[in-house]
Amino acid sequence: MNERVVLSAEGIVKRWPNGRVVLDGVTLSIMEREVVAIVGANGCGKSTLLSVLAGLESVHAGSVRLRGQPAALPNVDARASRQEERVLRAHRARVGLVFQQYHLFPHLTVGANCMMGPQYGLGLHVSEAAARARAALLRVGMHEAFDRAVTELSGGQQQRVAIARALANTPEVLLLDEPTSALDPQRTREIGALVRELASESATTMVVVTHDLELARDVADRVVFLDAGRVEAELPTEQFFGSQDAAIREFLAHA
């Protein structure tokens, strides 16, 4: 295995209960310090793939590995053993996922939201979890909001906190699901700038699912184009946006 590969998927197959195939043999690898944008039309499987990479979604076939170690993905046709559950929990602790709708706990403060992963996922003492949370909030420009209620925050601020919550676990790879989709143009620019900063200054390994092609062009080293649950193209960003492939041109023309 290439030592620079941080996260990889091999032959991922996922079907919905109605039989529709949402992921059809998806294979990809994410390299050290690489930023990969996953793009495609609505319903092509982008967000589902991100959940599979994070170990949160069951599959019918295929595997996910983090630095060569299998994630013991939940399988819809088999019950996981206790050992497999332990392996999966360990995988989830090492992969940070930022949800499209933030999924912050509204009854908790900003700091308490960011402490949950280090405290309960990593088993750290409350003081160390608080230190991790404060450091992560500082990275996203929200350090002064540690004691504030989540409900007091704007959408852009909540997105920053959601990113900080994922960073507090010091993940080996950060997965972002449509980080700018629920924001107004000004907040979209702000979050886009934050993602660019994480990508360039912090050299964070990231996978970004996005409809925002400007964001993909700005931050990604490589673009993965999904169509009907399959990887139709996987190209360096400049080559993707300059491609003459008919399917890519059609997508870009209507995105």
Sign of the dihedral through C-alpha 150, 143, 117, 1 = positive
Distance CA 203, CA 72 (A): 28
Backbone angle region of 203, left / alpha / beta, with phi > 0 → left and psi within -120 to 50 → alpha: left
HSE-up (13 A, CA, CB side) for residue 141: 12
Distance CA 157, CA 143 (A): 11
Q: Is the pLDDT of residue 174 over 90?
A: yes
pTM of the model: 0.90
Distance CA 68, CA 205 (A): 16
Confidence bin at 1 (pLDDT 50/70/90): low
Domains of the chain: 5-98+172-254 (3.40.50.300), 104-162 (no CATH)
6 φ, ψ to 5°? -90, -50
Confidence bin at 3 (pLDDT 50/70/90): low
In tens, the pLDDT along 235-246 reads 999 999 999 999
